[in-house]
Amino acid sequence: MTIKGFYKLVIHPRTFLSDYSKKIFQKESLTNEIIEREKIISLISPVELTFSEIKILNIETIINELVKYMRIYGFSENSMNEKENYYEYGVDINQFRIFLMLLHSFSSNGLASISLRIKSKKVTLDTNNISSVYNRLKEVNSFYLEIENIEGIQHEVLFQIANIEDDALTFRANTLYKKQKFMDEIPDNGFINLENLNQHSYPSQLLWNKPVDIVFTWVNSEDEEWKKMILEYKTEEELDFDRYQNFDELKYALRAIEKHIPWVRNIYIVTNCIKPKWLGSDEKINWISHEEVFPSKDYLPTFSSHAIESCLHRIDGLSEYFIYFNDDVFLMKNMKKTDFFKSNDCSISFMESYGASFYPREVDDESYINASLNGKRLLEKKFGISPVQFHKHVPHVLRKSILMQMEEDFKESYEIVRLNRFREKTDISTISFLYHHYAYFKKESVRESRLGHLIRNTNYRAKARAIKVTTPHFICINDGGGSSTDGNYKEWMLEFLEKYYPTPAIWEKDEETVD
């Protein structure tokens, strides 16, 4: 007994005895809970599914497994407000603790990523919070279960909580038209055929699960043919080699894609260079030449990223929904499709919090600033609104149909930017500036915030320390400012990328086969 406990026994004996009895009761309760959890988990672990079944694990599989061990009531199809990847079930509150243990077992076995959403707050289950989650659920009418299998297929389940009293199933939610069903009326398969049970019950959010592609633009500065081609138009002294240096960033950017968003459908790499030596073949990787996306060879060759970006929506077979990466942008966290696109198909733009494009254009301004100011004037003329925000140095979330509309609306400006062999003051920045404001004014885009770090050779040590404290969604290891000749920066960058993305992607060649 501690001194504090002895003092309480002498001065407040009743309080001491009360607290002591509670501790004993809680200890016994916790022990019983652990025993119960171990029994349940041993009962279903490992779940008897083949590898191929696990790979395509979906909500029906999970629900069927759960139904074996507890009461879950499904609503028949003719009584549901059916939506793609949305399901609605009832669950008996008296079996919630077992229900949560089963869910945790599925998640911990790697069969699916499972989390709960209770009153808009997302909760991930672990061995330490099952009791607290259980207590929270006892106070609400319903909750959502978000499930994602290893292939990135997402489902959302709405569970209406029911109490079983006097042989009747009584749902708590007032949104349900008919709240009660007698147990002897429920068929053996557990599905309730009530035409009006959920007449007024609608999902608060639908999960978005359409095909999404990735697009990169890339230059291989080690390609001798590319060097000969660019030197026909500019001397080495005129070129900014910071913009064209290749430190294998693409390899690590692709590793980050495979690691954090494996659900992407296709990856397109748009370039006028030969493939890097480390890149093998894979059905997901598509090597696209400039000739395939530009409307005419008269525009080629080009070395302007603004010109190339103006043609990305012309990639044959490209999904309506795609994400554009520069090869110096890297994912740092697992993300879902709904982190990039909303359920109403709107793309999500990650804009800077401050305005930057509100001053007159100057000839000696950075090319990206002039391109933004030119785009600003186009938007002012079309919408009567003057945008000032730049997009962050993070991935660009795009819709192909919106880009096609932009080309139709601004034909003359598209022609000018495509004719420029290098970045010029007459450019427009179709993707990094124009799209995000155009789509927003058209109500086809929304704005949200994601944590991203812009890393340069002037701040990389400070940014590395910040990343250790809080992992961002994205980082951009930027070029410019003499970075191509900064040996310390290059050394740090390669060490950093190898540390965070050490595992070769499936499309990389074995080291022995790389020349």
- DSSP per-residue letters across 189-212: T-EE--TTTTTT---S-PPP---E
More confident residue, 342 or 368: 342
pLDDT in tens, 332-355: 999 989 899 998 899 999 998 776
**Mean pLDDT of the 18-28 span:** 50
Looking at residue 466, what is its pLDDT?
93
Model confidence band, residue 111 (pLDDT cutoffs 50, 70, 90): low
* Nearest by Cα to 459 from 485, 432, 488, 484: 488
Rounded CA gap, 428 and 374, in Å? 6
pLDDT above 90 (res 452): yes
CATH topology of domain 212-508: Spore Coat Polysaccharide Biosynthesis Protein SpsA; Chain A (3.90.550)
Between residues 198 and 224, which one has the greater pLDDT? Answer: 224
Say if strands 212-217 and 321-326 run parallel, antiparallel, or are unpaired: parallel
Q: Cα dist. 11→14, 19, 36, 473 in Å?
A: 9, 14, 39, 55
pLDDT, tens digit, 9 for 90 and up, residues 43-86: 333 333 333 333 344 555 565 555 554 455 544 433 333 344 44
Does the pLDDT at position 411 exceed 90? yes
Give CA–CA dist 88/410, Å, rounded: 46
Closest C-alpha among 189, 187, 169, 188 to residue 179: 169
pLDDT digits (tens, 9 = 90+) for 158-213: 777 766 666 666 767 665 545 555 556 555 544 443 333 443 333 334 457 789 99
Neighbouring C-alpha atoms within 13 Å toward the C-beta of 24: 6
Which carries the bigger pLDDT value, residue 148 or residue 231?
231
More confident residue, 140 or 148: 140
User: Can you give the residue ranges of every domain in the chain?
Assistant: 51-192, 212-508
| 248 or 112: which leads in pLDDT | 248
* 133 against 196, higher pLDDT: 133
pLDDT for position 13: 54
Percent of the chain at pLDDT exceeding 70: 64
Q: What is the pLDDT of residue 512?
A: 63
Mean pLDDT of 310-324: 98
Closest CA to 476 of 435, 442, 432: 432
Judge whether residue 442 has pLDDT over 50: yes
pLDDT of residue 326: 94
In sequence order, the 6+-apart residues with CB closer than 8 A to the CB of 384 are: none
